[in-house]
Amino acid sequence: MMVLSNNCFLIVLLLFVSAGAAQKVEYTTCVNHGSPCLYKKLLCPSQCSSPYPSDPQAKVCHVNCDSPLCQTECKNRKPNCNTPGAACLDPRFIGADGTVFYFHGKRNEHFSLVSDLNLQINARFIGLRPAGRPRDYTWIQALGILFGSQSFSIEANKAATWEDEIDHLKFSYNGKELVVPETYPSVWVSTQNEIKVERTSRKNSVLVTLPKVAEISINVVPVTKEDDRIHSYQIPLDDCFAHLEVQFKFYGLSTKVEGVLGQTYQQDFKNPAKPGVAMPVVGGENKYRTTSLLSSDCGSCVFSPGGVLNKDESLVMDFGTLDCTSGDSTGNGIVCRK
């Protein structure tokens, strides 16, 4: 019995040590020159102990390198379709004010989601119109991003049927195909550090970062059989309409920002969607249509390749993806409430 007791004690001790090792807390820092947190050694919270956890589903340790507080926080890297800055489903947007609205656009056309002095983000819509229906059913198939003289695109490859073990993402940078290895974590950074692409899982999920400008969390998903049944999309057998789920986080937009989603970040924005209806729809196809995925020629577009965002023009600091589950109420005047 004594031997059994000693063995049990040893097993418990080993489990305790193993659990302690698994919870080893790491540090992170900022490498952006001009950041008030440059090279500061910042301890990660115990709830998210690593900037690059081995589990792609885990929350990550994150620091807002533009904040003078230089504090770490827990952050989800996958899109949250129910928080501000989201664009998911057929397409369902959540504006900066938290208002839900739909913008259907038209299939096989391109529309400006955000147009600012130094940033342009367009979306390519795919879809179908079953016989007898008054409009197209649409989804976001690709994003095109213009910043300075650079361009980047991310697309969901067409697939007849969905397979989780196949990567459906396609990237391009300045007109050339870009390969981001299908491993986790896998990171690609441009030569001048203007853009970073990180896989947040081995396949079909990435985080695109434009330092001091924006972060874009992206998933590729199909239209499911259940969605097809509920909405009567009449999805054909040869196309599962693979599309993007997206969540945007902006670090500063000007007072001139435009676009389907961008307009909601204006200080005096009034949502034109009809209140009190189940699916508030916003129009403006002619106002936001661009001739291609990587153009800024819509009627309301304000982007210019040489555009510079001055400090006195800066309008927003977006805290839409702040994670309140850690119990931390510190931040730039932000208090987590339920």
Q: What does the alpha-carbon distance between residue 86 and residue 324 come to, in Å, rounded to a whole number?
A: 18
pLDDT of residue 61: 92
Q: Quick one: 71 and 139 in the same domain? A: no
Which residues, in sequence order, are CB contacts of 195 under 8 Å at separation 6+? 145, 147, 150, 152, 173, 189, 208, 209, 210
pLDDT of residue 327: 42
Q: What does the alpha-carbon distance between residue 246 and residue 106 come to, in Å, rounded to a whole number?
A: 19
| Mean pLDDT, residues 15-43 | 73
In a domain, 236, yes or no: yes
Confidence bin at 310 (pLDDT 50/70/90): low
**Displacement of CA 152 from its chain's centroid (Å):** 15
Residue 330 and residue 71 in contact, taking contact as beta carbons nearer than 8 Å: yes
In a domain, 125, yes or no: yes
In a domain, 318, yes or no: no
In 157-271, beta strands by DSSP E = 169-173, 176-178, 186-189, 196-199, 205-210, 214-221, 243-250
The DSSP H or E segment spanning 119 is: strand 119-128
Q: How many domains does the chain have?
A: 2
Which residues, in sequence order, are CB contacts of 106 under 8 Å at separation 6+? 125, 127, 136, 138, 285
Compare 126 and 65 and report the one with higher pLDDT. Answer: 126
Amino acid at 246: V
Q: Quick one: 26 and 148 in the same domain? A: no
Residue 298 and residue 289 in contact, taking contact as beta carbons nearer than 8 Å: yes
Residue 284's domain comprises 79-313
Q: What does the alpha-carbon distance between residue 44 and residue 24 come to, in Å, rounded to a whole number?
A: 10
Q: Quick one: 212 and 110 in the same domain? A: yes
Share of the chain above pLDDT 90, in %: 65
Q: Quick one: 15 and 96 in the same domain? A: no
Q: Quick one: 158 and 245 in the same domain? A: yes
Q: Quick one: 67 and 102 in the same domain? A: no
Q: Quick one: 233 and 335 in the same domain? A: no
pLDDT of residue 253: 93
Please check the confidence at residue 7 and state whether its pLDDT lies above 90.
no
Please check the confidence at residue 322 and state whether its pLDDT lies above 60.
no
In a domain, 248, yes or no: yes
pLDDT of residue 294: 98
Share of the chain above pLDDT 70, in %: 84
pLDDT of residue 34: 75
Q: Is pTM beyond 0.75 here?
A: yes
Confidence bin at 52 (pLDDT 50/70/90): confident
Please check the confidence at residue 13 and state whether its pLDDT lies above 80.
no
Q: Quick one: 88 and 222 in the same domain? A: yes
The predicted-structure confidence for 55-86, as pLDDT tens digits, reads as follows 888 899 988 887 889 999 998 888 999 999 99
Confidence bin at 53 (pLDDT 50/70/90): confident
CA distance readout (Å), 90 to 180, 244, 254: 28, 10, 28
| Mean pLDDT, residues 23-47 | 86
The predicted-structure confidence for 184-224, as pLDDT tens digits, reads as follows 889 999 999 999 999 999 999 999 999 989 999 999 999 99
